[in-house]
Structure 1
Amino acid sequence: METIFVKEYEQARKWYVIDAAGKPLGRVAAKAAYIARGKNKATYTKNQLMGDFVVIINAEKAVVTGGKEQKKIYYHHTGFVGGLRAHTYEKLLEKHPTDPMAIAVAGMLPHGRLGRKMMDNVKIYAGAEHPHAAQNPQPIEL
C-alpha cells in the first residue's frame, strides 16, 4: 500500500462561517481550529496546510461560564523589565473584542510556523458583518 500525499496547491479549500453569538467560546474555538487544521478531511496530513478557511462572526457575543468574566486573566509581556501585563476577560473584551477568540483558537493550533499560517485562515469579526460574502461561506452549526 502507498500513502497518498496531496499537494497543498491541489487541495480544494472551502469557506465556512460560524456564528458565535450565545455559544461557548471554547466550543466555537475548538470547531474553528479543527476545520482550520484540516482534520475534517480524509486527506488530512499533520505537516501540511490542508485546512479550510473559517470566518467567525459575533465573536464578542460568545459566552463564558463559571464567572470567567472576572476570573479569567490574560497575560502579556511587553519585553521590557517588569513588563508583565494582565487583563481580565471583561477588560480585554472591551478593548479588543476579537482577541479572546483569537487567543483561544491560536492555543488549539500547532505552535510554530505551520500554526501561524493556519491562523491566517481564521478570520474573526466582532459583529455580524464580514467582507467574505463573495467566497460564499457555508454556515456551520455547533
Structure 2
Amino acid sequence: MSTYMAKPQDINREWYVVDMDGKTLGRVATEIAKILQGKNKPMYTPHIDTGDFVIVVNADKVHLTGKKLEQKMYHKHSRYPGGLKSTPYGELLAKEPEKVIELAVKRMLPKNKLGRQMFKKLKVYAGAEHPHQAQEPKELEL
C-alpha cells in the first residue's frame, strides 16, 4: 500500500468565517494556521497547499490573557543602527487590529514559499462585515 499524495487539481477549497469576539488570540491562531495548511483534511500533504480560505471578523474584540495588553511588545527593525521600533500590544490593537491576528497566524506558518502562499488565503477584518458573501463561507466554531 502506497502513501497518498495530493495533486493540485484534486484540491477542493472551502471558505470559513471565524468570529474573534471574546476569543483568546493564541488558541484561535493555532486553529486558523492548521486550517490554512490543510491539516484538518485527510488529504494533507506537506509539500502541497491543501488548505482552505479563512475569514476573520471582529478582530478588534480579540482577548489576551494576563497582563499581555500592557507588557507584550511587537518589534520591527529598519536594519539601520538604532532602528528598532517597539509597539505595545494595546496600542497596536487600537490602531491596527487586523495586523495583530495576521502576525500571530503568519508566525505559525512555514517560513518558505509555501507558507507565504498559505498566508494569502487569510482575510482579516476589524468589524463584523466582510465582502466575501458570494463564496458562501461556513461558520467555524472554535
- Secondary structure of the residue aligned to 2:9 is helix
Displacement of 1:118 in angstroms is 0.5
Counterpart of 1:86? 86
Counterpart of 1:67? 67
Letter of the structure 2 residue corresponding to residue 64 of structure 1: L
Displacement of 1:10 in angstroms is 2.1
Is residue 128 of structure 1 aligned with residue 121 of structure 2? no
Asked whether the equivalents of residues 16 and 140 of structure 2 are also in contact (C-alpha less than 8 Å), the reply is yes
Counterpart of 1:102? 102
Distance 1:125 1:41 in 2: 26
Displacement of 1:91 in angstroms is 1.0
Displacement of 1:80 in angstroms is 2.1
Per the normalisation by structure 1, the TM-score is 0.96
Q: Percent identity?
A: 47
- Secondary structure of the residue aligned to 1:98 is helix
Is residue 22 of structure 1 aligned with residue 22 of structure 2? yes
Counterpart of 1:12? 12
Q: Please, which runs of 5 or more residues in structure 2 have no aligned partner? A: none
| 4+ residue segments displaced more than 2 Å | none
Asked whether the equivalents of residues 36 and 51 of structure 2 are also in contact (C-alpha less than 8 Å), the reply is yes
Distance 1:62 1:94 in 2: 11
